[in-house]
Amino acid sequence: MRHVYAVLPVCLLILAIAFTPGASDERARATSDREPPVAKKVPHVRELHGDRFVDDYFWLREKSNPEVTKHLEAENAFTDAVMKPLEGLQETLYDEMLGRIKETDLSVPYRDGNHWYYTRTEQGKQYQILCRKRGSLDAPEEIYLDVNELAKGEKFMALGAVAVSDDGNLVAYSTDNTGFREYRLHVKDLRIGKVVESPVDKVVAVAWAADNETLFYTTPDAAKRSYRLYRHTLGQTDDALLYEEADERFRVDVSRSRSKDYLFLDVDSHTASEVRYLRADQPTAAWQLVAARENDHEYDVDHRGDLFYIRTNQGGRNFGLMTAPTANPDRGNWTELIPHRADVMLQRAILFRDHLVLSERENGLPGIRVQRFGTAAWQAVQFPEPVYTSFPTPGPEFDTTALRYRYESFTTPSSVFEYDMSTRQTKLLKEDEVLGGYDRTKYTSERIHATAADGTKVPVSLVYLKSLKRDGTAPLFLTAYGSYGAPSNVGFSSNRFSLIDRGVVYALAHIRGGGDLGKPWHDAGRMMNKKNTFTDFIAVAEHLLAERYGAKDRLVIEGGSAGGLLMGAVTNMRPDLFTAVVAHVPFVDVINTMSDASLPLTVTEFEEWGNPAKKDEYEYIKSYCPYTNLEPAAYPAMLVKTSLDDSQVMYWEPAKYVARMRALKTDDNPLILKTNTAAGHGGASGRYDRLREIAFDYAFMLWQMKVPGVLDP
């Protein structure tokens, strides 16, 4: 889910100019005649449980109010003025990052039915092109979706669901042209190259039945909770409503089994599940229940032969695997196949005709194990580096011995491997090419552990130049997420080397609240344990400084969305610890947002953050809510970014946060807010536009890290 200048009688914008060799350690200063915007105060009183809070900036929620537009435009103008001396650096960074990318490229093809499918990109084009070839890779190319064409005349374009019918003749796809996650469903006949069904507004998930004419889809309510399932028959206009979920904690999803024999309707909250199934060749039959929802029981289902395979936390928080007969999958008929293990998180079970593949996490690292059905032996896929990410990427083929998986690390580009589950041989199909003379041998990657206040060991992954001298003087970049049980995977980014090659140490903290060490790690950083997420991050920062990985006055931290909440919380708790903060679409107004059930995600996330309507949960959230806890103090330099059409963290959260911080802060460090007026939660949709955004962020970071040469002399 869901980032000041002191307001002085005479306010000058202070910009730090970077060193040049031989310059004094004191940053030179430059000034601008622009003053930071000061938002007007319109007192709005919030009262909960006898507690009264005056919110002077509540009015910024009024998106259609011209004064709101004027204020956001003023903030953008001020940000542009602050960053203007860094325009040359931004252009340099953009050129560097673009120079490492193979702009015209294509993915590894995969087979589905009679076709081979792949995507490709072309130099100068913002979006991917979806292609296929019939029967053989030597056949002529057929472009079935060109996102560049879909994006013509639009400021934003995101492709959502894409599903090809079993006979390969039709593709159902959805598009969002605002960033507000309102996807329109289209059905295109690939034989004639035209959309043949009237678009359906606000569609989330899509799945075909086996008859090639029946399409199931889900739709959201006003709060963007997917809650209804419909059945659409081609050529008909009256779609049948099959299911509606009344409990606002639960969302619905529709999918197809890997065998393609069944459809599944998943109804999930953050802590409970309920699955229904339907034969894919009987689309008008009644959906049947696997197991009714129970508090704290989560499960998901797939199919092979005459069995359902059920990943379940019935035996423990890290999940095990059970089977049930398709003829009667009642919970009383479940049989344990893989027991729960306290030290291994079962993330996913993937079924093939003859093999079972497990995607797992152990000691904070991912693993893949393979077993042939009917045997007891397991094969573990081996990985060459101590810090990495790998996950299975099986194609649609069910009857195959070829398992695709993706592998990458901080220094190894994203790579696609194929593992033969019968011969146990592995071959590299493709490693993303990094242009510009990239040399992975120049860098060191390692994993260390910091000790949290309660003694918990928190993993930290790092990458930096081998030539680094650990003398406590290097610029240091620390990032984390730490929510929803999502692991912070170690990934390759060619962009990142624009920082590392300038001497920056990059650190990724695997803090509690994430899923790096399984579900207990998540539990230890959510609800009434949420503050462990923040204290873990602070402990990691202190450890890195103590171990002399970097300098305290060159430490920049970054996080987005729930990671933006992390940024706001730790900045309030330890404003002295960080030089600068970059907060992307930050979830910083926790109490107000979690008190408004009309907003997207609020009710479904009571089980992650808590419900302010409950006094004990309100008091706990209040103790860390970044917006609520701002006070007169000296804060680090801050870059806060948001999008006007963000549907997950509404633009007003960061806007209010900046306005309030600016009124309270006692320092002269830069505080800037940048609002993208043509994007959603993930920022710009085009790949070149996204590079521009990264170059902007990196320029701010390098400036605050006092890296030599970041400004023209």
pLDDT of residue 29: 35
Q: Does residue 120 share a domain with residue 17?
A: no
Catalytic residue among 186, 488, 681, 685: 681
Residues 596 and 517 in one domain: no
Residue 482, pLDDT score = 98
The answer, yes or no, to whether residue 4 has pLDDT greater than 50, is no
Q: How far apart are CA 429 and CA 483, in angstroms?
A: 34
Q: Taking each helix axis as running N to C, give the angle between helix 615-624 and helix 531-546, from 0 to 180 degrees, rounded to the nearest 10.
A: 20
Rounded Cα gap, residues 406 and 404, in angstroms = 7
CA distances in angstroms from 362 to 63, 107, 289, 367, listed in the order given: 46, 30, 33, 7
Residues 618 and 521 in one domain: no
Confidence band of 710 (pLDDT split at 50, 70, 90): confident
Cα–Cα distance measured from residue 648 to residue 646, given in angstroms and rounded to the nearest whole number: 6
**Looking at the structure, do residues 250 and 130 belong to the same domain, yes or no?**
yes
What is the residue range of 455's domain?
A: 440-550
Whole-number percent of the chain with pLDDT over 90: 94
259-312 pLDDT tens trace = 999 999 999 999 999 999 999 999 999 999 999 999 999 999 999 999 999 999
Is 84 found in the same domain as 120?
Answer: no
Q: Which amino acid is at 406?
A: R
Same domain, 652 and 613: yes
In the listed set 240, 259, 278, which residue is the last one of a domain according to the structure?
A: 259
- Please state the separation of Cα 57 from the chain's center in Å: 28
Query: Is residue 396 situated within a structural domain?
Result: no
Mean pLDDT over 340-356 rounds to 97
The pLDDT mean for the chain works out to 94
Rounded distance between C-alpha atoms, residue 178 and residue 548, angstroms:
45
Residue 569 located in a structural domain: no
pLDDT at residue 20 above 80?
Answer: no
pLDDT of residue 10: 26
Give 80-111 pLDDT, tens digit per residue. 999 999 999 999 999 999 999 999 999 999 99
**Residue 256 dihedral angles phi and psi, to the nearest 5°:** -115, 140
| pLDDT level of residue 212 (50, 70, 90 thresholds) | very high
Q: What is the DSSP string of 316-358?
A: -TT-EEEEEETT---GGG-EEEE--BTTEEEEEEEE-SSEEEE
Q: Are residues 514 and 627 in the same domain?
A: no
Residue 5: pLDDT over 50: no
Does residue 250 share a domain with residue 156? yes
Could you give the residue ranges of the DSSP H alpha helices within 84-132? 87-99
Q: Which of 174, 561, 643, 685 is catalytic?
A: 561
Cα gap 134→562, rounded to integer Å: 44
Q: Which two tokens mark 26? A: 């004191």
| Residues β-bridged to residue 420 | 402
- DSSP E strands: which ranges in 4-69? 13-17, 28-32, 44-48, 51-55
In a domain, 641, yes or no: yes
* Average pLDDT of the residues in 449-457: 97
> In 550-613, which ranges are continuous DSSP H helix?
562-573, 590-594, 606-609
pLDDT at 713 over 60: no
pLDDT tens-digit map of 470-485: 999 999 999 999 999 9
**101-150 pLDDT tens trace:** 999 999 999 999 999 999 999 999 999 999 999 999 999 999 999 999 99
* Phi, psi dihedral angles at 28 (to 5 degrees): -70, 155
Asked whether residue 15 carries a pLDDT value surpassing 50, the answer given is: no
Q: What CATH number corresponds to the domain at position 240?
A: 2.130.10.120
Number of domains within the chain = 3
Pair of tokens at residue 50: 């006898």
Residue 292 resides in a domain: no
CATH of the domain at 60: 3.40.50.1820
Does 643 reside within a domain? yes
Considering 550, 584, 603, which residue would you say is the last residue of a domain? 550
The pLDDT score that the predictor gives to residue 83 is: 97
In the annotation, is 561 catalytic?
Answer: yes
Distance (Å, whole) CA 221 – CA 146? 30
Percent of the chain past pLDDT 70, that is, above it, reads 95
The last residue of one of the domains, among 535, 550, 565, is 550
pLDDT at 11: 29
Residues 87 and 128 in one domain: no
- Based on the domain organization, do 540 and 489 belong to the same domain? yes
Given pLDDT bands bounded at 50, 70 and 90, which one contains residue 709? confident
Looking at residue 604, its pLDDT comes to: 95
pLDDT at 12 over 70: no
What is the helix (H) or strand (E) element at residue 641, kind and residue range? Answer: strand 637-643
Contacts of 8 (CB under 8 A, 6+ apart): none
**pLDDT exceeds cutoff 70 at 9:** no
Integer CA distances (angstroms), 465 to 412, 439, 462, 468, 506, in order: 14, 11, 10, 5, 10
Domain assignment present for residue 408? The answer is no
Check whether 398 has a pLDDT greater than 80: yes
Do 243 and 189 share a structural domain?
Answer: yes
Query: Can 596 be counted among the known catalytic residues?
Result: no
| Phi-psi sector, 248: left (phi>0), alpha (psi -120 to 50), beta | alpha
509-525 residue pLDDT tens: 999 999 999 999 999 99
CB neighbour list of residue 623: distance below 8 Å, 6 or more residues apart: 531, 629
- Answer yes or no: 681 catalytic: yes
Reported as a single tens digit per residue, the pLDDT across 381-391 is: 999 998 999 99
What are 642-670's pLDDT values in tens digits? Answer: 999 999 999 999 999 999 999 999 999 99
Residue 106 lies in a domain: no
Model's pTM, two decimal places? 0.93
pLDDT at 25 over 80: no
Candidates 646, 647, 685, 697; catalytic one: 646
Say if residues 277 and 283 touch (Cβ distance below 8 Å). no
Which pLDDT does position 628 carry in this prediction? 98
Q: Note whether residue 325 is domain-resident.
A: no
Q: Answer for the pair 531, 624: CB distance below 8 angstroms, yes or no.
A: yes
**What whole-number distance in Å separates Cα of residue 5 and Cα of residue 12?**
9
| Same domain membership, residue 94 and residue 123 | no
CA distance 450 to 312: 32
